[in-house]
Structure 1
Amino acid sequence: MAANHPKGKIDQFRENFGLPIAIIATLIVWFMPAPAGLSAVGQHAMALFAGIFVLYLTEAIPLVATSIAIVPLAVLMGIVKVGPGLAPFASSSVFLMFGAFVLAAAMIKTKLAERLTYLILDIVGSSTLQITIGIVLANTLLSFLIPSSTARTAILLPVCISIIALFNPEGRTKFGANMLLTLAFTNATISAGILTATVPNPVTVELIQKAGGPAISYVEWLKIGFPPALIMTFLTWALIQLMFKPEHKEIPGGAAYVKSRLAAMGKMSYDEIYTLVIFIGVVVLWATGTITKIDTTIACMIATVPLFFPKIGVMSWKDASPHVSYDVLLITGGGLSLGTLLMSSGAAKWMAATAFAAFGLKGMAVLLLLVVVMFIVQFMHFVFVGTTVMATAMLPMVIALGVEAGLPPALLALPAGMIIGGYPILMFYCTNPNVLVYGTGQLTVADFPRVGIPVSILACIVYGLCAATYWRWIGLF
């Protein structure tokens, strides 16, 4: 985790006043006049969200403590029963991340992660610029192969951590923040352009079909979505380079150091080969999930078991346990619980509908309507935890809005779906890859909106320009 640093005035303010502000925010929403169309339970869920959101932003108490408090508070406030409230802590996302931590532990213990680190550096180069470009290219390639953004992050995260350690073994660094934000954010942005890269994309296609729209194939989605996604991926990378300029331009010792380390490691050991075979096996299962029908989480959990086999395995549970970030698992479970509460109480739907109504969209020009819808959808990421839940909640309203305006179902829903799946970057809790990189200790909560807000605005502009030009040229409009 990050080293301790002297606290500035802002940090002291957050620590001293974060909790009182959270309590005040909760009470204000709880006791305000009941809004039209929102149930009492929905209002109570919004009150809880207001307080938790302040605690997320200020980190007045540890995030894991905030996450643990969500379900007890929700039960005491009459929002949910204990069983349904705790159910998200046992979700597939939590266990996928657990499996990913165990796989990463094996890669670190056997030094496979270290070897892969030096091999990647030997190929892409040892400068910070080349390394981050390498991460972008790896994300792009893996997005075509692996239909889980969490799994892709789990593959690259151990390598990234090893590279960061070469620059600075201890403490938080600008390069560490740079690399991990590049990993998480470009993983997200490129996903918008590939149908199978993230779950909201096929959900979007399914909802469009159910609304009477056309079936959108893999190639059609690629044709429509990949160009703006690729542009945004490199713009996101460039923005991160400007905002988090690394302390060093190159690994100490440069290319010569990388080659010497590879030479010193010698040939691959049995443990490395065994771990690599398992790693390749789980990647194949992830990549062929649509064919084999083996769930991503199940594939990951199955893959962890052979690592502990007697005689032929590579580690004990004592070896693996320190690498399992239980705080990250609890933060994820708490975030999913909060998102589920907002959905089941109707609060999330009410907030989304209110946001749409506030902009007075009726009679608006199609292109302007598209940009405004994307803008609203993008910033609703602050409210939703998980992109799949967000897609199922938001897209029916987007489609209904389009139909009311006399537009085909796909016209608004397709770009909105891409924004939902590709840009969950405003807060650490928006999606699992964000939580994973946050758990390294190299990032603060504020780092996410600091980069995420300008990238989100830029995305609305780029997709709007794409709608006005490229999408018109290919006949989408």
Structure 2
Amino acid sequence: MSPLVRGLICVAIGAIIWFIPAPAGVGPQAWGLLAVFIATIAGFILQPMPIGAIAIIACALLPVLGIMKAGEALAGFSNTTIWLIVSAFMFAEGFIKTGLGKRISYMLLSKFGSSTLRVAYVMSAADFIIAPFTPSNTARGGGIIYPIVRSVTAAVGADAETGKNKKTGAFLMFSAYAAVITSACIFLTGASNNVLCNTLAQEMFGTSIGWGEWFMACIIPGLILTIATPYILYKLINPEIQDSPETMALAKKELGEMGAMSIKEKILCVIFIAALIMWATGSIHHIDSAFVALLGLSAMLLTKILDWSDITKQHGAWDVLVWMGVLVNMAAYLSKFGLMKWFAGVMAAQFAGMPWMTMLIILCLVYTFAHYVLASNSAHIMALFAAFATILVAAGAPVLGVLILLGALCNSASFLTHYGCGVTPIFFGANFMGQGQWWKIGFIITMLHIVVWMGVGLPVMKIIGML
């Protein structure tokens, strides 16, 4: 399908909604905004052009069509949580530019990488350390983790083309990919879509969650998944090689070539730890998480870890700023214009009499497996979060519990396909697994995540007062 046809489909979707009479209880502003919003979501999914461009067009249409005033249409760019994401992208650049991310990984591998199963756990540990400061799975997984695990597969003689030790390569690749996705669940700043969920919850329900609170709710189920996943993959894939002393030798060689830790790496370590402490203690000092991240970015600029050209080159960060600012703002005004309240009332009537916990389980399953038709976690959140969260909160489910569960399961759903999120094609592209095997194992790991998030995550949230 050509970009022109995809674009016309998006326009047609918006036009159809625009000209359908608004239901009783929904004002013309709300209905018009819904038409633009749905057309924008369709554009994000079909992508007739880059999503940042689609967002700009949508933003321009809002005042032109008389839906919102100019200042209202641009209000989303003042959202602090969006700036948290932008700043965290810069942290990721610092990890890559200084080599600190690779050094951490190779240090762990040089000490603990004596077997393929241990290598899987080491890569999980490395990703866990780096994840709080790299909200892009593509930047963290593709820029740091993938090159390292690719070197490891070569060191143990795994070759996708010849088929030699192919199962070993498949195990190492999928377990490293699983580490990236699991870490994204654990930290609020581990994936940009987590912050998108948080921002939408704030705009829709007036409730959001801090970095430390998210971590408290997710660390126990997250650690269970971090420990269980490599072992289950080891049993499912059954790699030919169990002992891998070559990995330790490779890591020591790479560390030797990197030389002593540079002054910039040491400075970044201090900034990294200080920001982590400030995020975790936000309830004490009351400094917004976004400004903690901006302070960290300022420190990196002052110490020349990054220069301004590094900042301007971060196209992914500025792209996120544009499309997230526009989309979150539209979602906020859908709520302000009363559409979400109307929708909640309609849906609550359909589920009347059903306990909210039962509803939560059913809708979470639908929400997760809907990812088969989506190729982006952010698109998943934009398409489904507002509707599902509105239904559940109207039924009596606590906002924070809904926020965390829908946020985590969006990440978990990335396992389902070989196009699950931005980083998935990178690991799949190593060609150690075919599509059928990837989908089969991905389904099993997704089910594991669902069981753990509902069986352990919900009780944990109950204990700490979020349910």
Task: Give the TM-score normalised by the residue count of structure 2.
Answer: 0.65
Aligned to 2:292: 299
1:316 aligned to which of 298, 303, 307? 307
Contact conserved, 1:122 with 1:259, CA < 8 A, in 2?
A: yes
Paired residue for 1:261, among 254, 263, 271? 254
Size of the aligned set, in residue pairs, is 409
Q: In the alignment, what sits opposite 1:43? A: 31
Show the counterpart of 1:347: 339
In structure 2, the partner of 1:333 is 325
Query: Residues of 2 paired with 1:331 and 1:177: CA distance?
Result: 31
- 1:73 maps to which residue? 61
Question: Aligned to 1:165, which of 141, 147, 151?
Answer: 147
2:181–2:412 contact (8 Å) kept in structure 1: no
Amino acid at match of 1:119: M
Asked if the contact 1:339–1:384 (Cα under 8 Å) also holds between the matched residues in 2, the reply is no
**Structure-1 residue corresponding to 2:280:** 287
For residues 249-306 of structure 1, the C-alpha deviation after alignment (integer angstroms, 9 at most, x for no partner) is 9999633222101012221122222222222222222222222222211111112223
CA distance in 1, matches of 2:54, 2:445: 27
Structure 1 residues 92, 59: CA separation in 2 closer, same or farther (over 3 Å shift)? same
Sort the Cα spacing of 1:465 and 1:109 in 2 relative to 1 into closer, same or farther, 3 A.
Answer: closer
- Bigger shift: 451-460 or 362-371? 451-460
Q: Is 1:62 paired with 2:50?
A: yes
Query: Could you say if the C-alpha distance between residues 77 and 383 of structure 1 is closer, same or farther in structure 2, counting changes exceeding 3 Å?
Result: farther
Alignment identity in percent?
A: 24
**CA contact 1:113–1:159 (8 Å) conserved in 2:** no
1:422 aligned residue: 408
Give CA deviations for 1:149-203 in whole Å, capped at 9, x if unaligned: 874637995576123234679xxxx9999689646642454469xxxxx8889x9
Amino acid at match of 1:33: P
**Amino acid paired to 1:162:** I
Aligned to 1:8: none
| Cα separation, 2, equivalents of 1:353 and 1:177 | 46
Amino acid at match of 2:361: V
- Cα distance, 1:112 vs. partner? 2.3
Q: 1:240 to 1:367 in 2, by over 3 A?
A: same
Which amino acid letter does the alignment assign opposite residue 143 of structure 2? Answer: I
- Structure 2 unaligned spans of 5+: 152-169, 189-193, 372-377, 415-419, 429-434
Distance in 1 (alpha carbons) for counterparts of 2:48 and 2:296: 38
Rounded Cα–Cα distance in structure 2 between residues aligned with 1:153 and 1:45: 29
Among 390, 401, 409, which residue is 2:395 paired with? 401
Secondary structure (helix, strand or coil) at the match of 2:353 reads coil
What letter is aligned with 2:92? A
Distance 2:365 2:104 in 1: 40
CA contact (8 A) 1:99 1:300 kept: yes
Cα offset, 1:107, TM superposition:
3.0
- Residues 357-396 of structure 1: pairs in structure 2 closer than 5 A: 357=349, 360-364=350-354, 368-372=358-362, 374=364, 385=382, 394=389
**Number of the residue aligned with 1:53:** 41
- The structural deviation recorded for 1:62 is 1.4
Query: Would the alpha carbon gap of residues 111 and 89 (structure 1) be closer, same or farther in structure 2, given more than 3 Å must change?
Result: same
Cα distance in 2 for residues equivalent to 1:55 and 1:297: 29
What pairs up with 1:223-262 in 2 under 5 angstroms? 254-262=247-255
TM-score by length of 1: 0.64
> Cα offset for 1:333?
2.2
Query: CA offsets per residue over residues 439-468 of structure 1, 9 Å max, x none?
Result: 999599xx9xx9999988876666666799
- How far apart, in 2, do the equivalents of 1:261 and 1:316 lie? 27
Structure 1 stretches of 5 or more lacking a match? 1-12, 143-148, 193-197, 211-217, 403-408, 429-434
Distance 2:310 2:254 in 1: 24
Does the CA-based 8 Å contact 1:135-1:182 persist in structure 2?
no
Contact 1:27–1:47 (CA under 8 A) maintained in structure 2 = yes
Aligned to 1:83: 71
The CA distance in 2 between the partners of 1:157 and 1:74, in whole Å, is: 33
Residues 107 and 158, structure 1, Cα contact 8 Å, conserved in 2? no
* Cα distance between partner residues in 2 of 1:471 and 1:294: 24
Distance 1:233 1:125, change over 3 A: closer
Question: What RMSD over aligned residues (CA atoms) do the two structures have, in Å?
Answer: 5.5
Query: Distance between the aligned counterparts of 1:243 and 1:335, measured in 2?
Result: 40
